[in-house]
Structure 1
Amino acid sequence: MPLPPPAPRKHLHTRSITCTGYEREDGLWDIEATLTDVKTYSFPNHDRGEIKAGEPLHGMWIRITVDTDLLIHDAIAVTDHGPFTICGDIAPAYSRLIGLRIGKGFDKEVRTLFDGPHGCTHLRELLRPLATTAYQTIFPARERKRRKEASDVRPGILDTCYALRTEGEVVQREWPAFYTGPAPAVGTVIPEPSIATGGTSGE
């Protein structure tokens, strides 16, 4: 369902964030994120002279390489566009992501490494959607591995949102061992789990 019609208005600014996950041939995973900010009008800028309408005010990239356990093996950041010529000077600092693991505490570690003058506001903003994209990209492989090795281990994704609440129908279908809702009525047919062969729409 689309949003309801807006009040009369004028378009001024667009921020675009795109995150993409790739499975590599060597068994690792590349996760890339880019952020752009674009104005619909031109304006003067001390370092760039003028930033024209449609020209990015901000244009940043991050790529991380992770394994199936979400450990970061490589990280690189690039600033193509910034309001100041020195904006890109901080990009090499993001190699400090190497050795971190995406999961509980990751946001705190990112703040410790890159808050304030130790990082770029916009590159730091990219790290959260980058992390969730990594999880969503790798989740089917992680879930297949978990089901093969230890089917009695509770998946960490449970109870992280409304759809994945343990008393809900998705958990009843995909992870019946961890379902906490009412017992199904007699004669109810519960579909086979789909995660192992491609995942649910919630990935």
Structure 2
Amino acid sequence: MPLPSPTERSLQHTRTVTCQGYKRADGLWDIEGHLSDIKTVPIEIKERNNGIVDAGEPIHLLAIRLTIDLELNILDAVASMDNTPFRMCPSIADRYSLLTGQQIAPGFTKKCKELFSGINGCTHLLELLGPIATTAFQATHQERLDKARQDENHKPFNLNTCHTFDSAGEVVKKYWPAAYEPAELIDVSEID
């Protein structure tokens, strides 16, 4: 269902986040995320273009590339900061190499916050890591599923990650009966 019709308005700012997953010739995967912020009016930013960023010129133009294997282990990580509001912003980009050796798995978001929150990172690059992680899952999904199907006892990767994939729910019961675990009923007579 689309959003309801808005009241009269004028566009001021567009943030675009694009994430893409690539299978490489060597069997690894590159997951790239790009973020841009663009205003429709000129704004003052003292360290850019004589103090003004023109309408349509990116304030932020940032990217991260993670190279991963099929188990979602991060084998390489690089960040770039082509447009930023301050000259010193790009000096933090190399810190994102700390992602090398991590795994996109439960706890990944918490680990990213530990590594890159506050003065240890860039707010915008930290935000970009969430959609990059979900893109990694999506890009590798079919190949991981094909590999898992070779194990007759495989369970869906996303079991209990959302309402639809509840191990006691109808979707799991219908499509993955081996993973279905009926919910235990609570005996209300025992509740005080």
- Of all paired residues, the percent bearing the same amino acid is 48
**How many aligned positions are there?**
181
| Alpha-carbon displacement from aligned partner over 1:97-143 (angstroms, at most 9, x marks no partner) | 10000001111211111111111110111001101100111111112
What is the Cα deviation at residue 25 of structure 1? 1.0
Work out whether 1:156 is the aligned partner of 2:157: yes
Where do 1:123-162 residues align within 5 Å?
123-148=125-150, 150-162=151-163
1:85 alignment partner in structure 2: 87
Where do 1:108-123 residues align within 5 Å?
108-123=110-125
| SS of corresponding position for 2:92 | helix
| SS of corresponding position for 1:94 | helix
- Unaligned ranges ≥5, structure 1: 182-203
Where do 1:86-101 residues align within 5 Å?
86-101=88-103
Work out whether 1:42 is the aligned partner of 2:42: yes
Work out whether 1:55 is the aligned partner of 2:57: yes
| SS of corresponding position for 1:142 | helix
The residue type equivalent to 1:32 in the other structure is E
| SS of corresponding position for 1:2 | coil
1:104 alignment partner in structure 2: 106
Q: TM-score, normalised by structure 1?
A: 0.83
| SS of corresponding position for 1:27 | coil
| SS of corresponding position for 2:66 | strand
Distance 2:116 2:13 in 1: 26
What is the Cα deviation at residue 169 of structure 1? 4.7
Distance 2:140 2:179 in 1: 21
Quick check: 123-132 or 106-115, which moved more? 106-115
Q: TM-score, normalised by structure 2?
A: 0.88
The residue type equivalent to 2:38 in the other structure is V
Work out whether 1:166 is the aligned partner of 2:167: yes
2:179 alignment partner in structure 1: 178
Distance 1:166 1:108 in 2: 25
| Alpha-carbon displacement from aligned partner over 1:145-202 (angstroms, at most 9, x marks no partner) | 1120x33243330122233233545434432322357xxxxxxxxxxxxxxxxxxxxx
Distance 1:151 1:90 in 2: 46
- Unaligned ranges ≥5, structure 2: 183-192
